[in-house]
Amino acid sequence: MEHMDFTHPYFGVFIMFVLTFGAFLATTMLARLVSRKFARLDTEKLKSTLYECGPEVTKQPNTISVQFYLMALLFILFDVEIIFMFPWAVNFAVLGWFGFVEMLLFILLLTIGFIYAWKKGALEWHSIK
């Protein structure tokens, strides 16, 4: 069996890592034991009762309309368009006609997508089909 090399430069770091991990586990277990010992388990009834005045507490599903997601998706789509156009505009002279034709095709594809979303009613708030 080989002997341990206590003179290694990272031996102290390893010892600190082991001690820190042990302290973390001890703190976590102590906090868990203390919270289970002193926690009140009958507070659920208190949380669902009325406080002075107000409506009765009911559990309702938290639903968000699909229209919010659709508007956010369209915003991101057209926002990314600007991100791609900025470097093109900065290097317009270097790219020449090839870059110009590529940008025209890119704008054409985005226009087709915009017209499709418009025809489907995605830009109107209450008529998503």
Domain boundary assignment for the chain: 11-47, 66-120
Using CA atoms, how far apart are residues 108 and 114, in angstroms rounded to an integer? 10
Using CA atoms, how far apart are residues 33 and 15, in angstroms rounded to an integer? 27
Which parts of the chain sit beneath pLDDT 50?
A: 128
Measured in whole angstroms, how far is the alpha carbon of residue 95 from the centre of its chain?
36
Contact between 110 and 117 (Cβ < 8 Å) = no
Query: Which pLDDT value is given to residue 75?
Result: 86
Q: Does domain 66-120 have CATH number 1.10.150.120?
A: no
Query: Which pLDDT value is given to residue 21?
Result: 97
Query: Which pLDDT value is given to residue 57?
Result: 60
Query: Which pLDDT value is given to residue 20?
Result: 97
Exposed e or buried b for every residue in 100-115, given b needs 16+ CB within 10 A?
eeebeeeeeebeeebe
pTM above 0.75, yes or no: no
> If phi over 0 gives left and psi between -120 and 50 gives alpha, with beta otherwise, what is residue 96?
left
Using CA atoms, how far apart are residues 78 and 113, in angstroms rounded to an integer? 10
Query: Which pLDDT value is given to residue 120?
Result: 83
